[in-house]
Amino acid sequence: MTTADLLLHPVRLRIVQAFLGDRALTTGALREELSDVPSTSLYRHVARLVDAGVLMVVAERQVRGAVERTYVLRAAAAKMSADEVARMSPDDHRNAFMAFVAGLLDDVDRYLAREDVDPVRDGATYNLAGMWLDDAEYAAVLNDLVRVLQPRLALPPGPGRRRRILATVLLPGEDGAQGAGDGHAHGPAGSTAP
């Protein structure tokens, strides 16, 4: 099984997402977060991710005669290598992207189903922006994003902090003449793309 096949299964993708932000979770805590996933299916997918080295057991304790395990995400194992990406066909990329988008749609549906949903208060946004960049300028943007995001990815949970998920998609646009407009499409909270 390829890394893409392993990670982009809808349930396994949700399990991996649950661990984002350096979280340590037991299967019980995971079951509460993914309450719509049948327990047997959840346990089977967790076992697959452990076998593949994506999740790692960091603690075990006895609970009513059973062993409760605490897991963490091994972030390096939860990513596809550049070689794997290079070997993917256009159809492989299309299927992987559809799984990625389907996961985002599920996340949005679960968010919008909450009783207290308020995208403005919660800072829930989605954005598009068009930029005219040569290769060096594009590399500088990527480096800037890493510089800004990396220290924040290391922040632990704490008072006043909410776990926030950032999904990015960077695609080359069609070559052509510069069009009119401000180059931005805005999401519901009214912010502009970075």
| Res 175: pLDDT | 67
pLDDT in tens, 46-62: 999 999 999 999 999 98
Same domain, 12 and 88: yes
Q: Identify whether residues 9 and 88 lie together within a single domain.
A: yes
Please report the pLDDT score of residue 193 as a whole number.
Answer: 42
On the question of pLDDT at 190 being above 80, the answer is: no
Clarify whether residues 4 and 84 are in a common domain: yes
DSSP secondary structure string, the chain?
Answer: --HHHHHTSHHHHHHHHHHTTT-EEEHHHHHHHTTTS-HHHHHHHHHHHHHTTSEEEEEEEEETTEEEEEEEE-GGGGS--HHHHHH--HHHHHHHHHHHHHHHHHHHHHHHTSTT--HHHHT----EE-----HHHHHHHHHHHHHHHHHHHTPPP-TT-------------------SS-SEE--TT-PPP-
Q: pLDDT band at 182, cuts 50/70/90?
A: very low
Using the predicted structure, report yes or no on whether residue 156 has a pLDDT greater than 80. Answer: yes
Do 76 and 12 lie in a common domain?
A: yes
Q: Is residue 98 part of a domain?
A: no
Reported confidence tier of residue 192, pLDDT bands at 50, 70, 90: very low
CATH code, 32: 1.10.10.10
Task: For residue 76, tell me if it sits in a domain.
Answer: yes
> Mean pLDDT, to the nearest integer, of 75-97?
87
User: Looking at the domain assignment, is residue 85 inside a domain?
Assistant: yes
* pLDDT tier for residue 101 given thresholds of 50, 70 and 90: confident
Q: What is the mean pLDDT of residues 27-34?
A: 92
Domain range for 191? 118-172+182-194
18 & 52 share domain? yes
Joined tokens for residue 90: 């256009």
Number of domains in the chain: 2
The two three-digit tokens of residue 8, written as one number: 């982009």
Between residues 3 and 87, the one the model is more confident about: 87
Kindly state whether residue 135 falls inside one of the protein's structural domains.
yes
Does residue 21 belong to any structural domain of this protein? yes
Instruction: Please check the confidence at residue 22 and state whether its pLDDT lies above 60.
Output: yes
On whether residue 104 sits in a domain, the answer given is no
The answer as to whether 54 is a domain residue is yes
